[in-house]
């Protein structure tokens, strides 16, 4: 049975107090906390099995290699990949999309080709394509959103043409929480022969993911957003496309043989994992995936949907003092609530919430074009995960009520002191 109160016992950091209050961690879209099982798996690897992989015949190297390869198999199962060979370990979603953009894009894109992305994209799925477009002469086209925060599918149909070679989009927006219609996007893209790149950074940790059913060509996601260690991520790609791609980063472990005149690339996925990899990170990520599979990703999604529905209902009590962004239907959004308190700078609200022990994110969340489209300079973002509860949301709403009461004095805070540059998710 999925019980967030029991789940919380696996997370040591949730016992921490902030300003004398129990920590309420609502910054899960940026990164998630780690359960004991993941922490212990990493410690066990370093204390009992550590060695470099694929480079030695001695016992420790063989043990490390086996654990690292098994981690690929676990992640393949997690997203229902056709083969573990399609699972490329990388640093994060950003790294994965760069590997795709440069490895596939530089080989296949030509002047006049079109790359379709969206206004709601995170910078990680926007800037690599913009860079590659400059290098190849391809053209970037942006799909707009509706005023309700949905992807504008009519605009998408207009933007996709016979010249479209790539359609890249977020499965779920890290600001609006909008869950996009993957099958509809894929059908349109494939009808003109374009490849489809899905940014799964916000979706894979929070809902069931089946790459076979999605029918996308690439999927990228981060380990640290799904209970795993930082510096871990996955690039999944269809095997035939991966085999045709040019390795973006090359060097140790990417080759079978090198002469002064030629190179024979390694088998998948190793040709894309240059140098000594984050072995312990891979082991920890596999343990995180096992943890989530034990819970059941359908239960994770149901829990977050319930929290969002409850939050939206409670937000009605705040009236016009709080301005929400994104769809109002919990069926269409993930566990993300982005908002502003009327007449208060978003950073001021975030700092005030911290005094209540509540960790949220403030700023533009590495989605500057989206905020400009919304006419906002930033938002406050609360985001949920498996260990969050309705009781925490009650404390959150009560804290917002107190902040609204304190608004006259909070407005006097010098906003310039709180201006932060968006460098993260």
Q: Is the dihedral of CA 86, 91, 93, 94 positive or negative?
A: negative
Active site (catalytic) residues: 366
Q: Pairing state of beta strands 87-90 and 114-118?
A: unpaired
**What are the φ and ψ backbone dihedral angles of 336, each rounded to 5 degrees?**
-130, 130
Q: Pairing state of beta strands 218-222 and 195-199?
A: parallel
Q: What radius of gyration do the chain's Cα atoms show? A: 22
Which residues neighbour 36 within 8 Å (Cβ) at sequence distance 6 or greater? Answer: 10, 11, 12
Q: Are 142 and 305 in contact (CB under 8 A)?
A: no
Tokens of 404: 């609204």
Which residues neighbour 198 within 8 Å (Cβ) at sequence distance 6 or greater? Answer: 168, 169, 170, 171, 182, 214, 216, 218, 219, 220
Which residues neighbour 40 within 8 Å (Cβ) at sequence distance 6 or greater? Answer: none
Which residues neighbour 420 within 8 Å (Cβ) at sequence distance 6 or greater? Answer: 347, 362, 363
C-beta atoms surrounding 246 within 10 Å:
14
């Amino acid at each position: 049975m999925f019980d967030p109160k029991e789940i919380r016992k696996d997370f040591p950091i949730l016992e921490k107090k902030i300003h004398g209050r129990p920590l309420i961690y609502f910054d899960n879209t940026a990164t998630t906390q780690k359960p004991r099982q993941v922490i212990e798996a990493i410690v066990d690897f370093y204390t009992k099995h550590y060695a470099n992989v694929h480079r030695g015949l001695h016992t420790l190297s063989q043990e490390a290699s086996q654990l690292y390869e098994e981690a690929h198999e676990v992640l393949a199962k997690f997203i229902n990949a056709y083969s573990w060979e399609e699972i490329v370990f990388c640093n994060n979603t950003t790294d994965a999309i760069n590997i795709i953009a440069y490895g596939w894009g530089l080989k296949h894109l030509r002047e006049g080709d079109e790359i379709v992305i969206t206004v709601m994209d995170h910078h990680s799925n926007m800037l690599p394509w913009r860079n590659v477009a400059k290098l190849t002469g391809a053209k970037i086209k942006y799909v707009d959103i509706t005023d309700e925060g949905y992807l504008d599918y009519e605009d998408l149909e207009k933007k996709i043409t016979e010249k479209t070679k790539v359609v890249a989009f977020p499965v779920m927006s890290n600001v609006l929480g909008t869950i996009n219609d993957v099958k509809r996007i894929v059908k349109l893209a494939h009808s003109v022969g374009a490849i489809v790149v899905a940014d799964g950074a916000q979706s894979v940790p929070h809902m069931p993911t089946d790459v076979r059913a999605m029918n996308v060509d690439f999927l990228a996601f981060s380990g640290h957003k799904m209970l795993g260690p930082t510096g871990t991520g996955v690039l999944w790609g269809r095997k035939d496309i991966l085999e045709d791609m040019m390795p973006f980063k090359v060097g140790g472990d990417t080759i079978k043989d090198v002469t002064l005149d030629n190179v024979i690339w390694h088998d998948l996925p190793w040709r894309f994992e240059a140098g000594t990899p984050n072995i312990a990170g891979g082991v920890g990520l596999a343990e995180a995936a096992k943890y989530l599979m034990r819970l059941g990703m359908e239960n994770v999604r149901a829990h977050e949907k319930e929290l969002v529905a409850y939050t939206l209902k409670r937000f009605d009590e705040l009236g016009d003092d709080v301005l929400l962004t994104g769809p109002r239907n919990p069926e269409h959004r993930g566990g993300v609530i982005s908002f502003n308190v009327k007449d208060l700078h978003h950073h001021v609200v975030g700092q005030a919430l911290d005094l209540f022990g509540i960790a949220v994110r403030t700023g533009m969340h590495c989605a500057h074009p989206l905020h400009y489209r919304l006419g906002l300079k930033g938002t406050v973002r609360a985001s949920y995960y498996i260990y969050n509860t309705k009781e925490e949301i009650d404390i959150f709403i009560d804290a917002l009520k107190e902040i609204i009461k304190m608004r006259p004095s909070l407005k006097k805070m010098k906003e310039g002191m709180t201006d932060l540059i968006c460098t993260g998710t």
